[in-house]
Amino acid sequence: MNGIFDVGEYLHTPTLILMVPSYIMIGIVFSIIYKKIESPPKVWKALIVFVLGMITFRFTFNLSEEVVSVPIIPIGVALLSWLLRRKGDIGRWHRFRRFAWLGFLSNFIFLAASLLAIPLDEMMYPKKEPTTYMMDVKNSSLIATHPNSKEVTLNQEELQRQMNRMKQKKIESESWYSGINEESGYKETFPYILSGTVHEKGSGLNALIYIEKDGKGLLITPNKGQQVYYRLEESILTEGGERNDS
């Protein structure tokens, strides 16, 4: 460990850009509500009610490779209403109900922020650009994943030269699979992994980058989103030399 905390490795910038204003907006509304109450409760109690009000039953689905949760039933508000009214003290519920409903409505503010983060993420970190996954390849190296792969080394200079010349191609998964001939034995289409690359800071992306056996193809498998495949003009592999085996 180098002892330096790299914020860019852990934060997703588009989400941060939209979530910070969301929290500020909710904080302002919370403050306005609190000041308008004639006999306001203690702040910590109002905050607890706010947090409990956020508890909901959600409908979850996938949108553009992202998980989206839509709040439907305000479970927290219903629970708080029952707890605060159970001794017949309706006034206590009236003092806290606005904070409970603010907690429920804040879910929609966060939902709007998460939805806006999807196109913003694509604008800031286009998934079709190889530099999104490989911003820096100066410390890249090669790892052989198949025992029968050729002994080759990575040509870093050639890789850097072609970074802006790669062309995205359709993933031919069926033809790659059919290329495995049971009679002649297993033939790995991507027998190498490109390691040591640095992705765009703040993208939240981590990817496995496989190198095709001819050294002219890169198959990128990110931790989110779809696989992308690029073809290069020249091979980035040089025969001979030492290699790193996984």
Distance CA(81)–CA(161), nearest Å, equals 65
Sorting pLDDT into bands at 50, 70 and 90, what band is 101? very high
What is the DSSP pairing of strand 152-154 with strand 237-239?
A: antiparallel
Q: Which one, of 226, 205, 208, 173, lies nearest residue 62 by Cα?
A: 226
Domain ranges within the chain, ordered by starting residue:
7-124, 130-245
Per-residue confidence (pLDDT) for residue 91, from 0 to 100: 79
Share of the chain above pLDDT 90, in %: 49
Helix (H) or strand (E) holding 13: helix 13-36
CA dihedral sign of residues 57, 62, 63, 66: positive
Average pLDDT, the chain: 85
Pair of tokens at residue 164: 């802006």
Pair of tokens at residue 228: 């992308």
Distance CA(54)–CA(229), nearest Å, equals 42
> Hey, which residues does 238 pair with through a beta bridge?
153
Cβ-based neighbour number of residue 111 at 10 Å? 16
Name the phi and psi angles at 55, rounded to 5.
Answer: -70, 125
**pLDDT of 73 above 90:** yes
Distance CA(80)–CA(84), nearest Å, equals 6
Q: Which one, of 28, 6, 42, lies nearest residue 200 by Cα?
A: 6
What separation in angstroms does the CA of 43 have from each of 34, 37, 47, 93, 99?
Answer: 8, 12, 6, 15, 11
pLDDT tens digits for range 194-231? 999 988 888 888 889 999 989 999 999 998 878 899 99
**What are the residues whose beta carbons fall under 8 Å from the beta carbon of 77, sequence distance 6 or more?**
53, 97, 100, 101, 103, 104
Return the higher-pLDDT residue of 48 and 86.
Answer: 48
Q: What does DSSP assign to residue 67?
A: E
What is the DSSP pairing of strand 217-222 with strand 66-73?
A: unpaired
Distance CA(57)–CA(59), nearest Å, equals 7
Predicted TM-score (pTM) of the model is: 0.77
Taking the alpha carbons at both ends of the chain, their separation in whole angstroms is 21
Distance CA(217)–CA(170), nearest Å, equals 12
